[in-house]
C-alpha cells in the first residue's frame, strides 16, 4: 500500500478521472456537478477536464436515472449521481423495473453498464430526509450489484471495477467517508466486486460489517481486547455479490458471529447474513448469530438523539459479549 494519504472525496475523483481518460464512453450525469464539483467536492476538476462528458441536470431523479439507463443501452458507461440515497425512492421505477431487469428480459442481448452513485448514512445532523441507509432495498432486487466501501482506497478500487462492469452497480458512499483519509496507491488497481476484507484478525468472535461501521467495529474490538476478547473484523465491502467464502472461513475459526450495520435493524442486511450463516454454517456455531443496527425510527437532527438512534462502539461491545455469554 502506498504512503500517499488522500480523502474519500479525492479517491472518488481520481477513479473517475482515470476511467474517463481510459474509456471515452464513460461520462458523469447529475445535479450541481459542474459549478460546485459535487456536494462534497468529490467531482472536483472533472468538468474542467472533460467538458460535455460531465452533465448537469434538472432536479429530477426520475429523469437522471432514466437518461442513464438509455445511455447504457446504447453503448455508453454512465455514472449517475443521485445525490443523497434518500432520493432513490423518487427513481425507484427506473432502478427496480428498468435498470435491474433489462438484461434478463432481453435474454442477455442488452448490457446495462450503469453505475448509480449516492451518498448515504447519518452522524452529521442532516435529519430524516438526508441520513438514511437504504442498501437492503436494493439487495432485495435481482439484477443489481451493491457495493459499499469503508475507506478511500476501496472507494477508488471499487468505483473503477463498477464502471467496467457490464451489469448495473449501486455504489453507496457514507457521508463521513468523504473527509476520511487513508493510504491510496498511485498505481493502477481495481478491487473486484464480491471481495470482502479482513480488517483485524481474531479468534473469539467474527464481527461482520461495512461502510462507516467498520471503524466503529474496529474501535469496539480494541475495547474488547482489553477485556481478553479477540475479535475478527470483516469489512464486507460488496453486499451483492457477497464474499460468503470469506465469511465461512472466519466463522469456522471463531464459532461466534455478530453482524453490525448502520441501517435500521428490522429488515436490514444483517438479517440476510445471519439467516444464511444459520442455514449453511450451523454446525460451526456455538451461539446464535446476533445483530446490531439503528433503532427503527427516522434519523433525528438533534446530535444527542441521532447518537442514541445510531449504533455506537458500546453497542457492539455489548453485542459481542452477549454472543459470547460474558
- Residue showing cell 464474499: 243
Euclidean distance between the first and the last CA atom of the chain, given in angstroms as a whole number: 37
Helices (H) and strands (E) in the chain, counts: 12, 14
C-alpha cell, 89: 425512492
Identify whether the C-beta of residue 264 lies closer than 8 Å to the C-beta of residue 293: yes
Identify whether the C-beta of residue 236 lies closer than 8 Å to the C-beta of residue 242: yes
The rounded distance, in Å, linking the Cα atoms of 75 and 50 is 19
130 is catalytic: yes
Identify whether the C-beta of residue 313 lies closer than 8 Å to the C-beta of residue 292: no
The rounded distance, in Å, linking the Cα atoms of 234 and 249 is 11
Rg, the chain, Cα only = 19
The rounded distance, in Å, linking the Cα atoms of 250 and 208 is 10
Which of 36, 130, 140, 261 is labelled catalytic?
Answer: 130
Task: From residue 133, give the alpha-carbon distance in Å to each of 20, 118, 163, 317.
Answer: 29, 10, 22, 22
Q: Residue 73 is inside which H or E element, if any?
A: helix 61-73
Residue by residue, DSSP assigns 126-183 as: --TTS----HHHHHTSTT-EEE---SHHHHHHHHHHHHH-SS-EEEEEEGGGTT-EEE
The rounded distance, in Å, linking the Cα atoms of 183 and 188 is 14
Residues identified as active-site: 130
Amino acid at each position: 500500500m502506498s504512503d500517499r494519504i488522500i480523502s474519500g472525496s479525492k479517491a472518488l475523483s481520481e477513479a473517475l478521472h482515470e476511467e474517463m481518460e481510459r474509456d471515452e464512453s464513460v461520462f458523469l450525469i447529475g445535479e450541481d456537478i459542474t459549478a460546485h464539483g459535487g456536494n462534497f467536492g468529490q467531482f472536483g476538476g472533472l468538468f474542467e477536464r472533460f467538458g460535455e462528458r460531465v452533465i448537469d441536470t434538472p432536479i429530477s431523479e426520475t429523469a437522471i436515472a432514466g437518461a442513464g439507463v438509455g445511455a447504457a443501452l446504447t453503448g455508453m458507461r454512465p455514472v449517475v449521481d443521485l445525490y443523497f440515497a434518500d432520493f432513490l425512492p423518487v427513481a425507484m421505477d427506473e432502478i427496480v423495473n428498468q435498470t435491474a431487469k433489462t438484461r434478463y428480459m432481453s435474454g442477455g442481448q442488452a448490457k446495462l453498464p450503469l453505475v448509480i452513485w449516492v451518498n448515504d448514512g447519518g452522524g452529521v445532523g442532516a435529519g430524516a430526509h438526508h441520513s438514511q441507509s437504504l442498501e437492503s432495498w436494493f439487495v432485495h432486487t435481482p439484477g443489481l450489484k451493491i457495493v459499499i466501501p469503508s475507506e478511500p482506497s476501496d472507494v477508488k478500487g471499487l468505483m473503477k471495477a463498477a464502471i467496467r462492469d457490464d451489469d448495473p452497480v449501486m455504489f453507496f458512499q457514507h457521508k463521513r467517508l468523504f473527509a476520511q483519509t487513508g493510504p491510496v496507491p498511485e498505481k493502477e488497481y481495481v478491487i473486484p466486486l464480491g471481495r470482502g476484507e479482513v480488517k483485524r484478525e481474531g479468534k473469539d468472535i467474527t464481527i461482520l460489517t461495512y461502510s462507516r461501521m467498520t471503524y466503529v467495529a474496529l474501535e469496539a474490538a480494541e475495547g474488547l481486547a482489553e477485556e481478553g476478547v479477540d475479535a475478527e473484523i470483516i469489512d464486507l465491502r460488496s453486499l451483492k455479490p457477497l464474499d460468503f467464502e470469506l465469511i465461512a472461513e472466519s466463522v469456522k475459526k471463531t464459532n461466534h458471529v455478530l453482524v453490525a450495520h448502520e441501517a435500521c435493524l428490522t429488515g436490514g442486511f444483517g438479517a440476510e447474513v445471519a439467516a444464511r450463516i444459520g442455514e449453511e454454517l450451523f454446525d460451526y456455531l456455538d451461539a446464535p448469530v446476533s445483530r446490531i443496527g439503528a433503532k427503527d425510527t427516522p434519523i433525528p437532527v438533534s446530535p444527542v438523539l441521532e447518537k442514541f438512534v445510531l449504533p455506537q462502539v458500546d453497542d457492539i461491545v455489548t453485542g459481542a459479549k452477549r454472543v459470547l455469554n460474558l
